[in-house]
Structures are given as C-alpha cells and as structure tokens.
C-alpha cells in the first residue's frame, strides 16, 4: 500500500496515532531509533546524519563548513532509503517535503490546540506546567527552524499535506480510522508500484552520490543515475585519472550496486583555477 508520512506537533497525539496505525496496517513504523540504526552505511557523514535525524538546525560553525545542500542531500538520501523499504510510516524528518514529487505518498499532519498539547506533555512526561510550556515552545521553534533552513518553507502551511487532523476535536482512534481510509484511496493505490521503482532508483543514486563524495573533490560536478537493476551511471568531471578510478571503486562498494558505468571525464585544472563555466 501507499507510504505514509506523519508530521506532528509535540503533544498532538501523533506518536500514538502512528503506533496504532502501524499495527492496524501491518506497516513498519520508522521512528528516530530505527533511523539511527540505518546510518552506518554513510561513512564520514554519519555525524551530520545524526544531527539531521534529530531535526537539529546546524550550528553556525557546522553551516560554515557544510553547506545547506549537503544537509539536504543527506536527508534526501536517508528518506529515499527508508521509503524504498515499502509499507512504512515515516515520522517527521521532512519526509513529506522530500517525497512531495513521488506518487503514492500520503502526507499527514497532526495538530492540536496549545492548551491540550501542554496538558498531554505534562501527563506523558510527568513534568510541571512551566516545563511543559517550555518543551512545547522549544519543540515548535526547533521544527520551524529545521524546515525553514532545509526547505525554506513554513511547516505549518496546510498546502504541504494531504490530510490535516486536529486531535482537539477528534479522538486518536478516529484519526487512525481516517488515515486508514485515506491510504486505501485508488489515487494512491494505483501508483504504488511506480512509486516503489522511483524510490529504489532515487535511494541508490543518492546514496552513491553521498558515498563517492569521500573520494571526489569535485563531487558537486558529478551526476549519478541508477536503474532498477542496480546499474549506476557516473557522469561529470574529475581532476585526475586516479580520482576517476577511486570514485568508481567507491561506487561499486555501495550496497545494492551491481555495475558502474563510468562516464566521468578527466579535466586537469591547475590548483586554484576555476572549473569551466557550465559545470
């Protein structure tokens, strides 16, 4: 069936909804702990991925050394990898934005009135009202900053979701029932096979792109494409034949790659010189 992404406010009941939904549908619920287990394949970028998983907006020095594009590439790689498993519920991590152009995805947002959110946090975490207020405020601020930094959007905008559920008016079970009905919609079911093919190609290509950048000083001038059979095509420019071979070897080492078609061109450029225009 269709993949589900759930974005939720702290104290909205989104976690409970996702848990019940996963059991009812027989889906894998991919939360933070499960995602942490998946980062071992990402080499030197593991530290950055840990921050992405925690939905942390990078600190000033991190942003100085790593561009916004790198963080977005890492997150895309991870979400494509998770989604390609199939029959999954992806919690947060900007999944609804990364998968927005992939068919067969149901994007859900769970919200609730502020007062009810604070009350739930007090009950769930056993904290005072003052602490609960601060937790809600801090969580909202971090999520807003994370989405603004990576996607330049207001994450509260309902246009980014297919279904927005307010648990101030609806019970957890009613919310589950609504999502279960929506995920069976023919508009989603008719394109599930197509979406899985797209996700598997995207996942492998993006993972190769990330991993080979360890060897390629010119990774931003390289494109990677993958097909459903694990054949990866590399195109672009590198600075030496040695780098060209190292990139190919690195690509072959990525799990799921069966063959590498290396179309990289060697362009020797003096140190400090600029790449040709158009690259």
Q: For 67-121, write each residue's pLDDT tens digit.
A: 567 778 878 888 998 898 889 999 988 899 999 989 999 999 999 999 999 999 9
165 DSSP 8-state letter: E
Looking at the structure, do residues 144 and 247 belong to the same domain, yes or no?
no
Q: Provide the CA 78 distance to its chain's centre, in angstroms.
A: 5
**β pairing state of 105-111 and 88-91:** unpaired
Share of the chain above pLDDT 90, in %: 49
- CA-to-CA distance for 19 and 172, rounded, in angstroms? 10
Boundaries of domain holding 76: 3-183
- At residue 158's C-alpha, the angle toward residues 122 and 5, to 5°, is 70
104: helix, coil or strand? coil
Which pLDDT score, from 0 to 100, does residue 137 have? 96
Looking at the structure, do residues 99 and 127 belong to the same domain, yes or no?
yes
Helical segments of the chain, H only: 14-25, 32-37, 46-53, 60-65, 68-83, 95-98, 114-125, 129-151, 172-183, 186-189, 192-212, 241-252
Looking at the structure, do residues 201 and 171 belong to the same domain, yes or no?
no
Looking at the structure, do residues 111 and 242 belong to the same domain, yes or no?
no
Looking at the structure, do residues 67 and 147 belong to the same domain, yes or no?
yes
Within-domain flag for 274: no
Looking at the structure, do residues 34 and 58 belong to the same domain, yes or no?
yes
Q: Which of 183, 213, 235 is the last residue of a domain?
A: 183
169 DSSP 8-state letter: T
Looking at the structure, do residues 176 and 208 belong to the same domain, yes or no?
no
Q: For 179-230, write each residue's pLDDT tens digit.
A: 999 999 999 988 988 889 899 999 899 889 888 887 766 445 788 999 989 9
Residue 20 near residue 172, CB atoms below 8 Å: yes
Give the CATH number for residue 168: 3.40.50.300
- CA-to-CA distance for 120 and 143, rounded, in angstroms? 19
User: pTM score, two decimals?
Assistant: 0.79
Within-domain flag for 271: no
- Stretch (H or E) spanning 114: helix 114-125
Looking at the structure, do residues 13 and 146 belong to the same domain, yes or no?
yes
What's the mean pLDDT in 264-279?
67
How many domains are there within the chain? 2
Within-domain flag for 279: no
Mean pLDDT (the chain) is: 85
Within-domain flag for 113: yes
Within-domain flag for 188: no
What's the mean pLDDT in 41-61?
55
Residue 50 near residue 39, CB atoms below 8 Å: yes
Looking at the structure, do residues 114 and 40 belong to the same domain, yes or no?
yes
Looking at the structure, do residues 170 and 205 belong to the same domain, yes or no?
no
Least confident interval from 17-21, 42-46, 163-167, 189-193 = 42-46
Q: Is 71 buried (19+), middle (13-18) or exposed (0-12) by CB count in 10 A?
A: buried
- CA-to-CA distance for 8 and 112, rounded, in angstroms? 9
**Paired tokens of 58:** 């990078």
Q: Which of 149, 183, 217 is the last residue of a domain?
A: 183
pLDDT band of residue 277 (cuts 50, 70, 90) is low
- CA-to-CA distance for 246 and 143, rounded, in angstroms? 38
pLDDT higher than 70, residue 43: no
Looking at the structure, do residues 199 and 179 belong to the same domain, yes or no?
no
Looking at the structure, do residues 18 and 68 belong to the same domain, yes or no?
yes
From the list 183, 251, 241, the residue with the least C-alpha distance to 212 is 251
């Amino acid at each position: 069936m269709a993949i589900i992404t759930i974005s939720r406010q702290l104290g909205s009941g989104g976690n409970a909804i996702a848990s019940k939904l996963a059991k009812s549908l027989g889906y894998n619920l991919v939360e933070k702990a499960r995602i942490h287990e998946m980062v071992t394949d990402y080499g030197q970028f593991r530290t950055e991925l840990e921050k992405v998983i925690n939905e942390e907006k990078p600190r000033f020095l991190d942003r100085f050394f790593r561009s916004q594009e790198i963080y977005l590439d890492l997150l895309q790689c991870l979400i494509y990898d998770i989604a390609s498993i199939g029959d999954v519920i992806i919690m947060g991590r900007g999944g609804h934005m990364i998968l927005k152009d992939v068919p067969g995805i149901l994007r859900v947002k769970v919200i609730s009135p502020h007062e009810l959110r604070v009350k739930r946090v007090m009950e769930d975490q056993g904290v005072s009202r003052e602490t609960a207020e601060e937790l809600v405020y801090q969580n909202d601020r971090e999520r807003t900053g994370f989405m603004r930094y990576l996607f330049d959007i207001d994450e509260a905008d309902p246009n980014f979701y297919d279904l927005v559920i307010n648990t101030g008016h609806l019970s957890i079970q009613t919310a589950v029932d609504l999502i279960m009905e929506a995920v069976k919609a023919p508009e989603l079911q008719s394109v599930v096979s197509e979406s899985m093919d797209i996700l598997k190609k995207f996942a492998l290509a993006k993972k190769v792109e990330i991993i080979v950048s360890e060897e390629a000083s010119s990774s931003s001038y390289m494109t990677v494409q993958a097909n459903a059979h694990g054949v990866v095509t590399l195109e672009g420019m590198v600075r030496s034949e040695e780098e060209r071979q190292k990139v190919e070897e690195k690509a072959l080492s990525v799990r799921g790659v069966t063959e590498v078609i290396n179309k990289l061109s060697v362009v020797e450029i003096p140190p400090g010189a600029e790449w040709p225009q158009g690259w």
